[in-house]
Structure 1
């Protein structure tokens, strides 16, 4: 899982003023008058506190952080420290500890700095956020959750804070809370017209897998492929449609059609299987085009099956030629039939042969006539035909009208995704 990186130490140093020189307070007014803006009026640091702190600051500049912590520790013996002295010690100790990699001490010190109430609202916002970032980086996820949550509640608007909070829930194995936060964040992005981040969508998918939530994983995967289409996402989605309980074998050809349109067919057997199914369904022009693409890809025409593939190509070519010759007779029979299935099928055959206008008109008339054996299949094929003809709006409308639970509606939903967010 991707891990966002920040620079919490720098932010902490800047937020509490530790990038400027610490005056040696309490020695003489002239020694700190120039730094009056950093120090509340009327509050001073006595020499027994200021001298070791100034030495510690010089050691920090020299990147001698452990030595700086040792110097700061000298102030622990000073009795009756004022609130301002305690505040100054805490933020100096926090800075040195953070640079030394002592997250526990740094966190304790900066939590005390925040609790003092002496930071301005702007400074406090920076330190609260940086504490959450620091705890996350140290893999202290309970603390990270507490401070990142506080940052957001106090108005923190950095989207990375939200992402780190969600990752903290995830990495602490609070999957229900991570899922809930992700769903809210993604819904907010979508409502605002923004694309959710790919990291959050991947996390949502991972949460679903950890929870064995198949439906949730499907939703996350579809969103991933909608906003960030990738070959791997498509292959996963298509495979899940076929493996879903209730998927009808009669839709295998339609599954191949979707795969060919998205990620392309991957093996020689896929090309020949789709071509054979197209021939059996009465779409020889589609079979011929499929095999031609297989030869163009280099997956057909060589190896032990080359002769068999050539025979299939010749068969498809002859069937496509014969089909065109008998098209007029087939059209008359389809138009005169009482039900529209023949017109839909003939129209689709014409579309795959490149006769878009005539083919689409026949399909539309067939659907209007009704009495279809499988109306959802007809609507699915009409959507594919519109897509082949470049009529995207009509394709989407047709796909969205497909219903059922045998796989047709699932394929139609993925076709909408392909039309709106093509991979290629």
Structure 2
């Protein structure tokens, strides 16, 4: 709230100072107002307020002079933390201004009443400011704060969702704050599905490491999400910089080796050692044994993969071709692996056709060629067991990875 008040006070200060310079006043009124202006610029709000009182004590003031005095009084009082004085000044000023200034004064009244913790009047002036045309970011933040104070998270969700929808329909990127407020309100109203969708929008528009971490931490708990995708979730964590714990490196390497991708497992172990997550502490010997295992399994896999590929090609279904094709990709041989995966898909008889499309899209990404086709393939992945979620997420990652 302090940040909101500072932003609002700065805005009204700029308005007050600009107005003081724009209109001619009598010297006996203008001189103390100019001094108040200088003091406000110097951050001396209480001294500025004293100068405003000096100007207000002059007799025979014109209507224009009184307006300027009230502007400066409101700005100085708000900066000085004297919300009652600010409220009095702005409420006196509001009926005598119009247009953009009326919207700004109403906004300042909303902030002044929030400083006084008068939430009903804060809400009233927020509505008046909006009706007068104010749609500033700080006013939106204040509105969300006030609604939160009252526990009206349903209203926050509705208004934030409307703002996000309006931005998207207008071809604009939604405001990050609107998305965060929407996600928070959805969490507080137990709208888990809605929150997941909003978090995915955050990944699409603001692909920050922390947002990826939050989303991927929730993904395995999604209803119907299959345990067989544990390695895939960790692959995304690694790609987005969210894999750093010793246990995570160990688990991911073991899962990769068990899935038939020992080269990938060795690469993960190597990254763990390079990051200092493996090879140190009381478990250092265990980490080294895992590395030795990965090295041996990789050597065995490379020695036998061509024979296994020949055998897979002779089978009626394409399941083994897909596994071995992706293994080739992890070995840095995408030119062999991708056609093999495509051959497996064409052959058919697949246990999990959507998993095969997921592997194909991921292989295309790893090859560094045909990004557009990779994204198209990933977005085509269907299924309610987690495969489609992973396809969309890899497509999002690809679009921001360059």
Matched, 1:114 2:117: no
Equivalences, count: 387
Match of 1:313 in 2: 291
Deviations 1:64-113 (A, max 9, x none): 636865985898xx9xxxxx967865763564355234433433443343
Deviations 1:342-377 (A, max 9, x none): 111110011011110110001112112222101222
Which of 8, 13, 17 is the matching residue for 2:16? 13
Which of 164, 167, 174 is the matching residue for 2:152? 174
Match of 2:44 in 1: none
Match of 1:366 in 2: 344
Q: Give me the whole-angstrom Cα distance separating, in 1, the residues matched to 2:366 and 2:222.
A: 27
Query: For the structure 1 residues 302 and 110, does the alpha-carbon distance in structure 2 shift closer, same or farther, using more than 3 Å as the test?
Result: closer
Query: For the structure 1 residues 142 and 87, does the alpha-carbon distance in structure 2 shift closer, same or farther, using more than 3 Å as the test?
Result: farther
Q: Give me the whole-angstrom Cα distance separating, in 2, the residues matched to 1:114 and 1:368.
A: 73
Q: Give me the whole-angstrom Cα distance separating, in 2, the residues matched to 1:394 and 1:196.
A: 27
Aligned-pair Cα RMSD in Å: 3.5
Which of 61, 70, 73 is the matching residue for 1:96? 73
Q: CA deviation at 1:335?
A: 1.7
Which of 59, 65, 74 is the matching residue for 2:49? 65
Contact 1:56/1:72 (<8 A) preserved: no
Q: Give me the whole-angstrom Cα distance separating, in 2, the residues matched to 1:321 and 1:12.
A: 73
Q: Which has the higher helix share?
A: 2
Contact 1:348/1:363 (<8 A) preserved: yes
Q: CA deviation at 1:319?
A: 2.3
Q: Give me the whole-angstrom Cα distance separating, in 1, the residues matched to 2:114 and 2:74.
A: 16
Match of 1:212 in 2: 190
Match of 1:42 in 2: none
- Give me the TM-score of the superposition, normalised by structure 2: 0.81
Q: Give me the whole-angstrom Cα distance separating, in 2, the residues matched to 1:55 and 1:241.
A: 64
Q: CA deviation at 1:136?
A: 4.7
Match of 1:34 in 2: none
Larger radius of gyration: 1
Q: Give me the whole-angstrom Cα distance separating, in 2, the residues matched to 1:267 and 1:93.
A: 59
Deviations 1:4-51 (A, max 9, x none): 323254255357658756449xxxxxxxxxxxxxxxxxxxxxxxxxx9
Which of 332, 336, 360 is the matching residue for 2:314? 336
Query: For the structure 1 residues 21 and 88, does the alpha-carbon distance in structure 2 shift closer, same or farther, using more than 3 Å as the test?
Result: closer
Which structure exhibits the higher relative contact order, with contacts defined as CA atoms closer than 8 Å and separated by 6 or more residues? 1
The DSSP-based 3-state class of the residue aligned with 1:3 is: helix
Match of 1:81 in 2: none
Q: Give me the whole-angstrom Cα distance separating, in 2, the residues matched to 1:154 and 1:406.
A: 49
- Give me the TM-score of the superposition, normalised by structure 1: 0.77
Match of 1:45 in 2: none
